[in-house]
Amino acid sequence: MAPIKKAKKVTIKFFLNQLLEPVTGDKGQAYYPLYIQVTFNRKNMTLKSKYAEYYQDLKEVKPELMAFEERILRKIISHEAGQGDNDYDLKGLKHKYEVYSTSIGEALENYLKPKLRSTILKTNDELTTVLDFQQTHATVGRLYKAAKLLFSGFEDTLPIRLKDDLTAYGNYHQLLQKPVFDFSFATVLDWVDGGYQDEQGKKEATKRVASLIDQAVKEQLKQL
């Protein structure tokens, strides 16, 4: 029997990157971005926090934010290190973190917005110019609502698959009508590792939602 390999230690530390130019406050305070140092198998790398802001002191950072980012990073390394016989060396971790830490909600927006935009533009209506698809607050739900108000018979122009996806999108957000705590949202990685899939798959009413999420996650993973 082959000897069991001892799991390599992962060390994750958060720090304010004071080597960078700070953002200056109204009273001249210096604010720095939050960075993360990852150590694995005697190798180090640093990456910028995806969800943090700028701070004067590390104590200002919410503990739940750091716990969230550390959880994602550890799960990525655990998954990657378990693949194949070669030693994992953190290569590509920054990019993988960007993809895997994307929320399910953002993945759905990224998946559906281009499809909805294409259908809206096909109306050739002059009012399409008032819709700013790049605006942060221009979510799929708001764009869909606006299109139905602006363009007569818009729903009749929707492909059946897109109409079903938009219905599932609405159902997904209805399912989220409950208290939401900071950094408690599900991510692409949570879907990939199966935990969030199991949670959704147990509910008959959400099977269509789960199918939509699966398609959105697969599209997001193409960036890897």
Could you report the per-residue pLDDT of 74-132, keeping only the tens digit for each?
999 987 776 555 577 888 899 999 999 999 999 999 999 999 999 999 999 999 999 99
Query: Which residues span the domain enclosing 200?
Result: 104-221
Residues 197 and 116 in one domain: yes
What pLDDT shows up at residue 203? Answer: 59
**Is residue 95 a part of any domain in this protein?**
no
Residues 108 and 150 in one domain: yes
Could you report the per-residue pLDDT of 145-165, keeping only the tens digit for each?
999 999 999 999 999 999 999
Cβ burial of 68 (10 Å; 0-12, 13-18, 19+) is: buried
**Is residue 2 a part of any domain in this protein?**
no
Average pLDDT score, the chain:
88
| Alpha-carbon span 148 to 218, nearest angstrom | 29
Residues 41 and 110 in one domain: no
CB 175 within 8 A of CB 58: no
Cβ burial of 57 (10 Å; 0-12, 13-18, 19+) is: exposed
To 10 degrees, the CA torsion angle through 59, 52, 197, 179? Answer: 70
Residues 162 and 73 in one domain: no
Given 58, 90, 122, which residue is the final one in a domain? 90
| Alpha-carbon span 213 to 200, nearest angstrom | 10
Domain count of the fold of the chain: 2
**Is residue 50 a part of any domain in this protein?**
yes
pLDDT over 90 at 200, yes or no: no
Given 38, 67, 90, which residue is the final one in a domain? 90
| Alpha-carbon span 90 to 11, nearest angstrom | 12
What pTM does this model have?
0.87
